Amino acid sequence: ILNVEQSPQSLHVQEGDSTNFTCSFPSSNFYALHWYRWETAKSPEALFVMTLNGDEKKKGRISATLNTKEGYSYLYIKGSQPEDSATYLCARGGATNKLIFGTGTLLAVQP
């Protein structure tokens, strides 16, 4: 069984703060790491798919890094805005196409 863990479980920040959270996963037989942003009552939105050790990806104020040797990925949000409030999910992709998800980090950005 492949265990994907995320921390913290929840995070409250003020508008304008920068923040980051962690996804950890077993490093053996690594194929890909996916990040999703999920707002209540909406579809989880794909942010990044990361495959190579040292990968850094960016989408607006959100960026992510990947370390496959030690089995972790960081997601960063620069200058958080209230509209960034959501649950951020990471998922490990393996040899088959199924995704194995972490528990998510719930981010609340207060104006």
Residue 32 lies near another protein (rule: CB under 8 A): yes
94: burial class by Cβ within 10 Å (0-12, 13-18, 19+)?
Answer: middle
- Give the sign of the dihedral formed by CA 26, CA 9, CA 106, CA 79: negative
Q: How many residues contact another protein, by CB under 8 A?
A: 27
Instruction: Tell which one of 63, 67, 85, 100 touches another protein (CB under 8 A).
Output: 100
Whether the Cβ atoms of residue 45 and residue 91 lie closer than 8 Å to each other: no
User: CA 14 from chain center: how many Å?
Assistant: 20
**Min dist. Cβ of residue 31 to another protein (A):** 4
Residue 81 lies near another protein (rule: CB under 8 A): no
Residue 1 lies near another protein (rule: CB under 8 A): no
Residue 99 lies near another protein (rule: CB under 8 A): yes
For residues 14 and 103, which CB has a smaller minimum distance to another protein in the complex?
Answer: 103
Distance CA 52, CA 88 (A): 21
- Positions touching another protein (CB under 8 A) are 4, 31-32, 34, 36, 41-44, 46, 49, 51, 89, 91-104
